[in-house]
Amino acid sequence: MIFGSDNMAGASPAVLQAIVQANAGEQPSYGADVWCEQAEQQISQVFQAPARVFFVSTGTVANSLALSALTPPWGGVLCQRDAHVLADESSAPEFFSGGARLLGLDPVNGKVAPESISRALASAGHPPHNVVPRALSITQANELGLVYTPEEVHELASLAHRHGLKVHMDGARFANALASLGCHPADITWRAGVDVLCLGASKNGALMAEAIVFFDPSLAQDFAYRLKRAGQMAAKARFFGAQFCAWLHDDHWLALARQANDVAGQLGVALQALPGTRLVWPVQANEVFAVMPARLAQVLRSQGAVFYDWPEHALPAHEALQHEEKLVRFVTSFASTCEQVDDLVAAARCS
């Protein structure tokens, strides 16, 4: 009953096998190996676009480095107020960008909305005295477990582009969103106006591998320097390449994501049936947010369930915790199973 985070699982057997395979023999270092080359090709094929790809070790590095290519140090980055880049990555975005500022937007129905962007742009003030937005960052699937449709991405990206903003997508759970939407990966990225995607594999079956995917190659012009300077030009980069090769091969990434999403869906249904428990947002990917009695949360944990309390301020404006209630988050991974949901339901009965 480990629902703390999808980063608590290891790698899928197929991904692990690729690491073992790639380990054999000598390879040129710093990303010039055959695995990185093949992984870049696979990504271009999957997205049906000639992407420039850079591999890094964590999602924080991926997001921060990517954003640093989209905004000068005096620019701003619009994002949801509870976006991972703003709320959970320390001041890494400021560090990598040389001091750019993240500008948090209040969500509308759990997501970045065009009207929030417009309002932020309208109040940006007088350059150079004020920080002017230069980029928009959206998370797919987002931090509240919600998924942007192709139309939504397109609308947000178009608005951003009209005002000269570049568009970044934090895709730490991109595969989960894609599996949920059932669309083509291009439909929610470059075709919808995304300039750079941080494609995260670590949370969905890889051990440690993130890809920064530039659909607009002009933005990647000096990126190798950024990568090196950030200490992300790994000597044995083959390890990154190999993970992506296996992950993308034969839609393995989608199979992994579907498993996580399916269990999340069942978990949502199960949670809603628990006494005094309600879901805050619909379950669209692999995260479930529920309000439940504090007592119930305690019981579940005493039975071995792992999940996090979530800050009340993440709730929609019209909702509030009642007396003795808690907001909690459950996350499923490729390693989650229906049995774990059953166990959770059984655990709830102990209360």
- Within 283-302, which residues bind a copy of itself (CB under 8 A)? none
Within its chain, how far is the Cα of 266 from the centroid? 21
Minimum gap (Å) between residue 126 Cβ and a copy of itself:
9
Q: Which of residues 322-351 bind a copy of itself (CB under 8 A)?
A: 335
Per CB under 8 A, the list member of 100, 211, 256, 285 interacting with a copy of itself is 100
Tokens of 267: 């978990």
Burial code (b: 16+ CB inside 10 Å, e: under 16) for 104-120 equals bbebeebbbbeebbeeb
Per CB under 8 A, the list member of 131, 153, 196, 211 interacting with a copy of itself is 131
Q: Which of residues 234-273 bind a copy of itself (CB under 8 A)?
A: 234-236, 238-239
Question: Is there binding between residue 217 and a copy of itself (CB under 8 A)?
Answer: no
Residue carrying the six token digits 């628990």? 274
Q: Pick the closer one to a copy of itself by CB: 61 or 181.
A: 61
Tokens of 55: 């591999």
* Packing angle, helices 238-248 and 13-22, rounded to 10: 140
Minimum gap (Å) between residue 23 Cβ and a copy of itself:
4
- From residue 216, alpha-carbon distances to 140, 205, 211 in Å are 19, 27, 15
Question: Is there binding between residue 59 and a copy of itself (CB under 8 A)?
Answer: yes
Question: Is there binding between residue 95 and a copy of itself (CB under 8 A)?
Answer: yes
Minimum gap (Å) between residue 317 Cβ and a copy of itself:
13
The C-alpha atoms of residue 121 and residue 129 are separated, in whole angstroms, by 15
Q: Pick the closer one to a copy of itself by CB: 47 or 240.
A: 240
Secondary-structure breakdown of the chain: helix, strand, coil percentages, each rounded to the nearest 5 = 45, 20, 40
Question: Is there binding between residue 91 and a copy of itself (CB under 8 A)?
Answer: yes
Minimum gap (Å) between residue 98 Cβ and a copy of itself:
4
Q: Which of residues 101-130 bind a copy of itself (CB under 8 A)?
A: 101-102, 123, 125, 127-130
* Interface with a copy of itself: number of residues (CB under 8 A): 77
Number of H helices and E strands in the chain, helices first, is 13, 11
